Amino acid sequence: TLRMRVPALLILLICFRGRAGPSPHFLQQPEDLVVLLGEEARLPCALGAYWGLVQWTKSGLALGGQRDLPGWSRYWISGNAAKGQHDLHIRPVELEDEASYECQATQAGLRSRPAQLHVLVPPEAPQVLGGPSVSLVAGIPVNLTCRSRGDARPTPELLWFRDGVRLDGITIHQTVLKEGTPESVESTLTLTPSSHDDGATLVCRARSQALPTGRDTAITLSLQYPPEVTLSAAPHTVQVGEKVTFLCHATAQPPVTGYRWAKGGSPVLGARGPRLEVVADASFLTEPVSCEVSNAVGSANRTTALDVLFGPILQAKPEPVSVDVGEDASFICAWRGNPLPRVTWTRRGGAQVLGSGPTLRLPSVGPEDAGDYVCRAEPGLSGLGGGAAEARLTVNAPPVVTALHSAPAFLRGPARLQCLVFASPAPDAVVWSWDEGFLEAGSRGRFLVETFPAPEGHEGQGPGLISVLHISGTQESDFSRSFNCSARNRLGEGGARASLGRRDLLPTVRIVAGVAAATTTLLMVITGVALCCWRHGKASASFLEQKNLMRIPGSSDGSSSRGPEEEETGSGEDRGPIVNTDHSDLVLEEEGALQTKDPTNGYYKVRGVSVSLSLGEAPGGGLFLPPTSPLGPPGTPTFYDFNPHLGIVPPCRLYRAQAGYLTTPHPRAFTSYIKPTSFGPPDLAPGTPHFPYAAFPTPSHPRLQTHV
C-alpha cells in the first residue's frame, strides 16, 4: 500500500510542478575523489527547485536522509538545505570508505552520477637489509636489498640515492611481493664498492602518489679494502753514490700488517717499515724499487725508478771481424750511461772520426782497411766513466809474401833463405821452388824447409809465418839461380823471389894464416926467454926471492896481486914495472921454486915474463882446432868470416932490461870460430819489421883462449 502510494505521489508532484514552475535539477554533482587515509573526504551535492528529501548512497546502500546520518559516526551531511546544499563528509577516511557514492533527490526521482572515493595509504619508511651499517669488501660485488613496509596504496616505488644524488646506471631490480604481506615490494641494488665508498651514505626512498616526497631509510657503508699505496723517492734525480730515501705511504681497512721492499724483483733484506734509505748506483736506473703493503684483506704494490746520473759503462765489447775483400764489415760497441753517452769510432793511431753511435759500418773493405778500430765514450757530467774498446778487422785476401835478407854463404858451405808470409785465412801451403824442383816441408837432397810462426803480425793481415830454406853444401849453380817462395789460400796465391849471396874465403885464410904464424913465433921466443931466465935465477939468490910471474886472468879488471912471500921480503927492491893493458893483467908473483908448467893449463912460469895470449879456449884448456874445410883435402881447417872479430892489440910499453928480463913488446890477438850446431833464427833484411827472435834457439859462440 505504502509502496504503491509513493510512486503515485511522485507522479502527482511532477505534474504539479510542471504546471507550477521549473523542475528539480542538480546544481552540483559529486566527482571522483582521492583522499589520504585518515584525512577528511567531502563529496559535494547541490539541487535546485527541490525542497524534498535528499539522501546519499554508498555503493547502493542508502546512508539515510537525516543530516547527522545516525549509525555512521564518521559521516555527516553539511550545507544549507534551503539552498539545496547536501554535501557528504567523511572524517577520518578509512580504507573501508573507499566506495562509489551517489546523491539522490528521492521525491524528485533524481540520482547524481556515481563518485568514486579512493583512499590512499602512504608508504612507510623502507627497510634495508643489513642496515644501518653495512660492511663490505672493496672490489667484491654486493647486492643491497631495500623492502617497503605497510599496506601502502598504491604500491610504492623504491629509489636509491647517494649523498642526495639518485644513482643512475646501477642495476636495480624491483619485485612486487605477494599481496597481503607486510612488505609489498623490494628493490635490489648491485654495486662493486671501492675504498672511496668507505663511510658513504646510501638512501633507499619509498614514494607513491599518496606520498610524492617519499620516505627514506639511510645506511652507512663500512668498507674493508686492501692497502692503497703511494711510493715516493727523495731526491728523485741523484748522482751515483748519493743517498736516497724512499717513503711508502698506505691507507687500509683493516690496518696495515706488513711492508716488503724489493729492488729489481729481489727482496731488500732487513727492510721492514715504510722507510728505506739506500746509496744510489747505476743499477737503480734499470732496477726499480717496489714497496708491497699487506693487511687482512689483501696487498698492494707500487714501483718507482730513480733517475741516476752516471758516466759511460761498457756493456758489450766489439768483437773481431773477419771478412773477404769487397765485403761489408760492421762493429757493435754498447755503452750505457745517464745521460746517454756519445760514442765515436776511430782507427787506432788515427784521429779521424769514422762514425758515431753503437755501430760502425765499413762498406766494401779492402786490404788497406785492415787494422784495429776503437770505439770511445766520453766521460759523463761527473767526469767519471768513459773509456775505449777496440777490435781488429781482418780482411781476407791472397797471401802477401816478402823475401827476407839472408846472409851470404861460402861455396860448399851451409846457407839459408827466408821469406815472411802474411795471409788471412792462413795459407794452405808455403812452397819453395827452384829450377829443378820444389819443397813444401821436410828435406829433399841438399835442401830442408822449416816453418816458424812469426812472433807478431801486421795489423789485420792475419797470422805471420817465416819459412826458411836450408841448403847444405852450396854449389855454383845455387848462387846464380833464383829461389821462389810462394803461398796460397782459398783467395789466391802470392810469392816472392830470393837469391843467394856469395862470400869469398881468401881474405879470411890470409888473416888466419898470419895470426897462426905470429903466434908460433911468439911461443918460441917466450920459451927461449923462460929457459934463459931460469938459468940466470940459479946464479943469483936475491933474484930467487923476487921472481915474478905475469898472469892474465879470465877477467880484465886492471889490478895486480902479490904473493905473501913477496910482500914480506921484496917490498924494498925494484922488481920492474907491472904492465897493464886493455886485454890482460901482468901480475908478479913469488914462488918457492921455478918450474915450467904444461902449456895446456894456460900458464907458463918462466924466469922472465909469462905472457897469456888469448886465442880461444877449447874444452879442457887445450887448443881448439877448427873442423875440416869443404874447400880442400881432408884435414884442411874450415874458416868462417872472422873480420868482425879479429883485432891486433897495439904494442905495449917495452919491458926494462933488468934482472934477466927481456925487452920485448907484448902482442895479443883474438880469433873466434863459429860453428852452427843448429839452424838459428832468420836474419831480416833492412827495413823488414823486427820480430822478437828470442823465442828461437841461438847457437853459442865459445871463446878460444890459449895462455902462454
Using 50, 70 and 90 to split pLDDT, how confident is the model at 5? low
Cell for 310? 752516471
Residues 198 and 126 occupy one common structural domain: yes
Residues 263, 145 share a domain: yes
Residue-wise pLDDT for 274-332, tens only, equals 999 999 988 888 899 999 999 998 899 999 999 988 888 888 999 999 999 899 999 99
In a domain, residue 634? The reply is no
Total number of domains constituting the chain:
4
Q: Both 294 and 161 in a single domain? A: yes
Asked, for residue 15, whether it belongs to a domain, the answer is no
Residues 154 and 289 in one domain: yes
Residue 661 has pLDDT above 80, yes or no: no
641, part of any domain = no
Residue 3 domain flag: no
User: What is the spatial distance between Cα 137 and Cα 460, in angstroms, rounded to a whole number?
Assistant: 72
Range of the domain at 438: 405-499
How much is the pTM? 0.43
3-class DSSP string for 326-359: CCCEEEECEEEEECCCCEEEEECCCCCCCEECCE
Q: 230 and 281, same structural domain? A: yes
What is the mean pLDDT of the segment spanning 439-468? Answer: 80
The dihedrals phi and psi of 404, each to the nearest 5 degrees, come to -90, 160
State whether 165 and 285 are in the same domain.
yes
Of 120, 146, 175, the residue at which a domain comes to its end is 120
> Closest Cα to residue 146, out of 131, 135, 136, 133?
131
Q: Could you tell me the CATH number of the domain that includes residue 462?
A: 2.60.40.10
Asked, for residue 621, whether it belongs to a domain, the answer is no
Contact 357, 343 (CB under 8 A): yes
CA 74 to chain centre: 98
Whether residue 126 is found in the same domain as residue 113: no
Q: Which of 499, 522, 537 is the last residue of a domain?
A: 499
Residue 620 lies in a domain: no
pLDDT digits (tens, 9 = 90+) for 450-464: 998 886 655 556 678
Verify that 240 and 158 share a domain, yes or no: yes
Residue 381 lies in a domain: yes
Q: Are residues 205 and 289 in the same domain?
A: yes
Burial class (CB in 10 A: 0-12, 13-18, 19+), 613: buried
Mean pLDDT over 578-591 rounds to 34
Q: Give yes or no: residues 244 and 289 share one domain.
A: yes
Q: Is the pLDDT of residue 17 over 80?
A: no
Residue 637 predicted with pLDDT over 60: no
Q: Average of pLDDT values for 2-26?
A: 59
295 and 359 share a domain?
A: no
Which of 459 and 68 is assigned the larger pLDDT?
68
What is the reported pLDDT for 173?
65
Residue 677 has pLDDT above 50, yes or no: no
Greater confidence (701 vs 218) lies with 218
Residue 361: is its pLDDT beyond 90? yes
Supply the pLDDT for residue 290: 95
Q: Final residue of a domain: which of 235, 270, 305?
A: 305
Q: What is the pLDDT of residue 419?
A: 93
pLDDT tens string 218-256: 999 998 888 999 999 999 999 888 999 999 999 988 899
Query: Is there a domain that residue 130 lies in?
Result: yes
Do 357 and 272 lie in a common domain? no
Share of the chain above pLDDT 70, in %: 68
pLDDT at residue 459 in the model: 57
Q: Which residues contact 22 (CB under 8 A, 6 or more apart)?
A: 48, 49
Q: ∠347-351-355 over CA atoms, to 5°?
A: 60
